[in-house]
Structure 1
């Protein structure tokens, strides 16, 4: 059941992340179009979500191997914050407008965090076997 739940979380998280990227694309494109020409602005959101995706894969890999991924988490959080900030610049200055603009990147980040948590929960930490000190004492 645990692996099934993790698979379901992965599927839902992937769907939310893709939907979030699709929704956030237009505000990010508009933010870029104000400062650069139209053709580079069309691919500009990829420059924002590219590092996010690469760092996310690094975090997933570290979670599978039970390693720390502080640097990769920092990249994910940084680019998520930049995505939220840029989406907010294009939002109408109302509570609904600001919430609508900020929810997609935050939802993607939240789903990703829950996926990592599911991965770490489905693979329990193995307790290291105690080292025998007899060999080091016998050498003395």
Structure 2
């Protein structure tokens, strides 16, 4: 491994450690606020487990995102769950905070910090993995030689759209264009 690769892996490991510590401290910091938000409506035995109802789905979705990042797959559904439960945690904590700007910001900070650190961790994982070979996800239907020529010429910007209004009608002959721009048909 080169010095750059070693530094990259060390940085990714450091980001992982910091993200883990921030997430744990975030959970501990908002645990009481989440318990207080459930206390008036929930049985006393359940109140102690209330933070797990917020951070449980968050953790499961986070692990799904990490797994997807390792396999270089997208995890849109899991990201939506993480964002939903981060938003819920933030709103519940802000609702329990005193009605000052400083208290509201301080109560929102732990959940937002955990989310930001987690997103950066996922970015580090995707940066340290080499990109996969790009392969088409679906087979493309085979085109006739005329359609291939038209598609190639259109992509190169050399042929106008013959179906556009105002374009002179042809007599259904195939119009071909060479690589030098000469037309014949």
Q: TM-score, normalised by structure 2?
A: 0.68
Moved over 4 A (4+): none
Q: Offset at 1:105? A: 0.3
11, 25, 38: which one aligns with 2:44: 38
Match of 1:84 in 2: 90
Bigger CA drift: 117-126 or 21-30?
A: 117-126
Q: How far does the alpha carbon of each residue in 1:79-134 deviate from its partner, in whole angstroms, 9 at most, with x for none?
A: 0000000001100110110011000000000000000000000113133379xxxx
| Cα deviation, residue 38, structure 1 | 1.5
**TM-score under structure 1 length normalisation:** 0.90
RMSD across aligned positions (CA): 1.5
The gaps in structure 2 that reach 5 residues or longer are 1-6, 137-141, 143-185
Structure with greater Cα Rg: 2
Whether 1:125 and 2:131 are equivalent positions in the alignment is: yes
Structure 1: gaps spanning 5 or more residues: 131-135
Partner of 2:107: 101
Equivalent residue, structure 2, for 1:72: 78
**Is 1:61 the equivalent of 2:67?**
yes
Q: Tell me which of the two structures has the higher relative contact order, counting C-alpha pairs closer than 8 angstroms and 6 or more residues apart.
A: 1
How many residues were matched structurally? 131
- Structure 2 counterparts to residues 11-50 of structure 1, below 5 A: 11-50=17-56
Structure with the bigger percentage of helix: 1
Relative to 1, partners in 2 of residues 1:97 and 1:128: Cα closer, same or farther, differing over 3 Å? same
Q: Relative to 1, partners in 2 of residues 1:5 and 1:39: Cα closer, same or farther, differing over 3 Å?
A: same
